[in-house]
A and B are shown apart, each in its own frame.
Chain A
Amino acid sequence: MIISLYSDSYGQNDYFICPRASLSIAELRARMLDRAKVNSGSYASGLIDCLYADIFIHSLDLKKDYTDFFEKEYEKFGEYLRKRMRFPREVVQELQVAFDISSAIYRFRPRFSFLNDEYGLEFLTTLIEDEPQERE
């Protein structure tokens, strides 16, 4: 599951990447590179590798952050999202659903400009989603 949040005044999207399967980050990296259909060692391969690291290494895993550090302070995950992260109510509702069915919830703020808008969501879905949706 990938949830998009059009967040700031610069028009920058946030994404919440919520893999369901308990894949290691090495397996997630292999999945992204495989689905990206880029040649090993190429510029494009390096680009996908950077994207993988941005999401699965450098982004905050909200689920882990909550269970490791804030579970005693906030009784429910939704409360942590509302009061600590200050997310809008509609996103909190979606993330609460994701909490029960996802192995992690990465809050990803893309630095690549082309990852905004519909193209960005479609691109990330193709590369990361457990069951990629068919392109129209």
Chain B
Amino acid sequence: MKIRSGFVTNSSSTSFLIISQDDFDESTFLDLMGVRLDSPIASLFKQLFADIIQSSRRYDLSRVNEDDIGEHLFDGDLTPAMIERLKRAAKQGGKAYLGHLSSDENLIQTFFCTEAFEVESEAIYFNCLSCVW
């Protein structure tokens, strides 16, 4: 019998979906999350924005066949409600960003892997509910 001492670490990841009417930028994202530019927490959300852009795939929904959504496109992690949202956005020609954050990457992503939330403004819908921490 082998005995191992020490501790075991778990890594985690969380999927996210962002739907926007247009391409969105850092200031729009900060506004969505309720962070002012001079906030001491702004750097945290700027890093999150950069990680989201880097770790996601962007879809131009105006080029997507609505019937393919949930069938050939975006299948897997999405809930029926998210698929319905994507179909609605496809009718309006919006953009979608689908990706995941990993707790192995940095402390910011580690934190957001422990969070489950859904936020929405007139321009952007951000779903980060697929957290399994």
Contacts and interface: CB of A to CB of B under 8 A. Distances in A.
The finding on whether chains A and B are genuine partners in a shared complex, rather than unrelated, reads: yes
Interface residues of B, number: 19
B12 to A, nearest CB: 11
Interface stretch (A22-30, A34-42, A77-85, A100-108): A34-42
Interface stretch (B66-74, B75-83, B86-94, B105-113): B105-113
Contacts, number: 56
Interface in B44-75: 44-45
A37 B107 CA distance: 22
Is the contact region of chain B dominated by helix, strand, or loop, or is it mixed? Answer: mixed
B41 A42 contact: no
A44 interface: yes
A44 B34 contact: yes
Contacts of A10: 7
B45 to A, nearest CB: 7
A48 B34 CA distance: 11
B34 A123 contact: no
A37 B38 contact: yes
A40 to B, nearest CB: 8
B40 A126 contact: yes
A123 B41 CA distance: 8
Contacts of A123: 40-41
Contacts of B123: none
B111 A38 contact: no
A119 B94 CA distance: 37
Contact of B108 (A36, A48, A114): A114
A63 B44 CA distance: 33
Interface of A: 9-10, 35-45, 47-48, 111-114, 116, 123, 126-127
9 contacts: A10-B7, A36-B41, A39-B34, A39-B36, A42-B34, A43-B117, A44-B33, A44-B41, A114-B107
